[in-house]
Amino acid sequence: MNEFKLPDVGEGLTEAELVTWLVSVGDTVKVNDIVCEIETAKSVVELPSPYAGVVSALLVPEGETVPVGTPIIRIGDSVAAPDGEPAEASSGVSTDSATADADVEAEEQPLTLVGPGPKEMAVTRRPRRVPTGAVAAHMQTQAAFEPGLPAPRVEAEVEAEPQTEPQTEPQTEVAAAQADLSAVAVLAKPPVRKLAKDLGVDLRTITPTREDGVITREQVERAAASAIEEGAPVVEEGRQARLETTDGGGFETVASATSSTTVGAASTTGGDARETREPIRGVRKMMGQAMVDSAFTLPHVSIWKTVDVTATVALVERLKARREFSGVRVSPLLVVAKACLLALRRTPIVNSVWDDAAQEIVFKHYVNLGIAAATPRGLVVPNVKDTQELSLVDLAAALGELTATARDGKTPPADLAGGTFTITNVGPFGMEAGTPIINPGESAILCLGAIEKRPWVVDDQVVPREVCTLALSFDHRHIDGAAGSRFLADVASVLEDPATALLF
C-alpha cells in the first residue's frame, strides 16, 4: 500500500488547498495519471500519481488546506480477484479500518520451503447476502442509470427480515430511491464535475438524458441558468459559485458569491444574510500580500500618454489576413508587446531591478514579459520567457498559449516566476487607463487602456481616430523621469506608426 504525500510543487511552498479529486475510491490509476488539482499560493496545479494501482482511500477532502508532506491518497497494488474482476476497494475518505469490514476466512496451508508452493494466506469470500428494501431499490435505480453495467457492490449488506406489511411495489421503491439524492450514483466526466462545482450545481439533481446515463456539460449549464432565473441559491455550503465571462483580451472576469447569497436576485427576506465571508487564501492571498509589499516598498511614479493608434488597428487587421498568423490570435496587445520589447532595447534601465540588500542595480539582458490576467482565483501574472528572441509570429503564439493556460487556471508556478516587465490590459473592461502597481521583482509596468474612436486633430482638421491611453508606473529609486518618459515615448511612436520599428 502506497501513500502519496502532498509535494512541494515549486518555490518552497509550505501548504496547498485540495481543489478537486479527479479519481474515486476503487479507480485504477497508472503512473503519471492526474489524480487531483491543488491550489497553491500561486496557481492551480494538477498532481500526477507516482504509483500505479487501485485507489483505496482519499485521505483529504476537497476544499481543505494541508501542509506539504501530508498524505492525501492511498493507492494499493492492482490485484485481480479469482473470478477475473479487479479487486474491490473500500469506499469513503478514510480507510484504516477498511480491511476489518471485509468478510474473509483464512485457510491454513502447509508451509513450503522450496518452490513457489501455494499462497501462505489464501482467502475465500462468503457468499453475498441478497440485498433487500432500500438497498435493492438503489441498485435498481443505479442499474437504470448505467445500462449494460454490472450492479454496484453494496458495502452495507442487509439481511432479509420477515415482512409484516404488504410489500411496496418495485416502482415505488425505485421512486423512493431516486428521491434519496445521497443514494444515487452520478456519472459525469471530471471536467463536467469541476464545472458543476464551480457553478454550485448539485449533479444529483440532474436527470441524465443520454443513453449511457452520463451527465453532459450542457445539462450543467442549463441547470445553473435555470437556478439563476428562479432566483435560487446555486451554491453549497462552503463553496464559491463563479459566473465566468471572457473579456476582449482573452482573459476571464469573475463575479462570485458564497453560500448565503442568491445569484441573480438580491436578498429581500429577513432570514437571508446580507453579508458573506470568503476565506482569503491561495492565489488571492498571495496577490494581496504582493501588492501591499510592492506599493509600500517601491516609490511608484506614473506617467501617461494618449496615442492615435489608427495605424496599429489597421496593421492588426492586415496581420490577421496573413497565412503566417493562421490559427493564432492577433490583437493590439501583440503590437504593444512588440513595441515594449523594442523600447526596452533603447532604455534598458526599465528592465533592471533595484537590489536593496546588495545595494546594486541588476540589469537584465533578457525580457521575461508578463501579462496580468484576472482569473477565477485572483490576479496572476504569468510571463513568457526570453521574448526578446521571439519573432512576431512566435510572440503571438506564446501570448495565445499563456492566455489559454491562465483562463483555465492551470498556469504552472515556473511561469509565474522570473518576470522582468509586465503589461496589464484594462481595455477589455472599458477603462481608459489606470495607475498599476509594479509586480514584485520588477521595476515597471505598462497599462494599456481601451481603444476607442475619438475626435482627433490631424493636419489642423478634427477627424475621428482610434485612440488609446498608455500609463507607465516605474520604480523611481533608479528609473528617473527622463528614462521613463523616453521609454513610453518609444512605445507610443511604434503604436502611432508601426513602420517606426525599423529604426530601432
| Residue 217, phi then psi, degrees to nearest 5 | -60, -40
Round to whole Å and give the CA distance between 93 and 354.
49
Report, as residue numbers or ranges, the catalytic residues.
476
pLDDT of residue 185: 59
* Domain regions of the chain by residue span: 1-79, 187-257, 283-503
3-state secondary structure of 176: helix
Span 283-503 CATH architecture: 2-Layer Sandwich (3.30)
Tens digit of pLDDT at every position of the chain (504 positions): 889 998 887 656 778 888 889 999 999 999 989 999 888 766 778 889 999 999 999 999 988 888 888 999 999 876 544 444 444 444 444 444 444 444 434 344 444 334 444 444 444 444 544 444 444 444 444 444 444 444 444 444 444 444 544 454 445 444 444 444 444 457 877 677 777 877 778 888 888 888 778 888 888 878 877 776 555 444 433 333 333 333 333 333 333 333 333 333 333 444 467 888 878 777 777 778 788 888 888 889 999 999 999 999 999 999 999 999 998 999 999 999 999 999 999 999 999 999 988 999 999 999 999 998 877 777 789 999 999 999 999 999 999 998 888 877 778 888 888 999 999 999 988 999 899 999 889 999 999 999 999 999 999 999 999 999 999 999 999 999 999 999 999 999 999 999 999 988
Q: Which distant-in-sequence residues (6+ apart) come within 8 Å of 286 by Cβ?
A: 41, 42, 378
Using alpha carbons only, give the angle 440, 441, 443 rounded to the nearest 5 degrees: 90
Tell me the CA distances in angstroms from 335 to 140, 174, 338, 501, one per residue in order: 61, 62, 5, 11
Round to whole Å and give the CA distance between 96 and 59.
10
3-state secondary structure of 258: coil
Query: 3-state SS of the chain: helix, strand, coil percent to 5?
Result: 30, 25, 45
Span 1-79 CATH architecture: Beta Barrel (2.40)
Contact 18, 61 (CB under 8 A): yes
**In b/e form, how buried is each residue of 474-504, taking b as 16+ CB within 10 angstroms?**
bbeeebeeebbeebbebbbbbbbebebbeee
Round to whole Å and give the CA distance between 485 and 114.
86
- CATH ID of 187-257, from 1.10.10.10, 3.40.630.30, 3.40.50.2300, 4.10.320.10: 4.10.320.10
Closest CA to 350 of 494, 489, 468: 489
Q: What is the DSSP string of 330-399?
A: --HHHHHHHHHHHHHHH-GGGGEEEETTTTEEEE-SS--EEE-EEETTEEE--EETTGGG--HHHHHHHH
N residues, the chain: 504
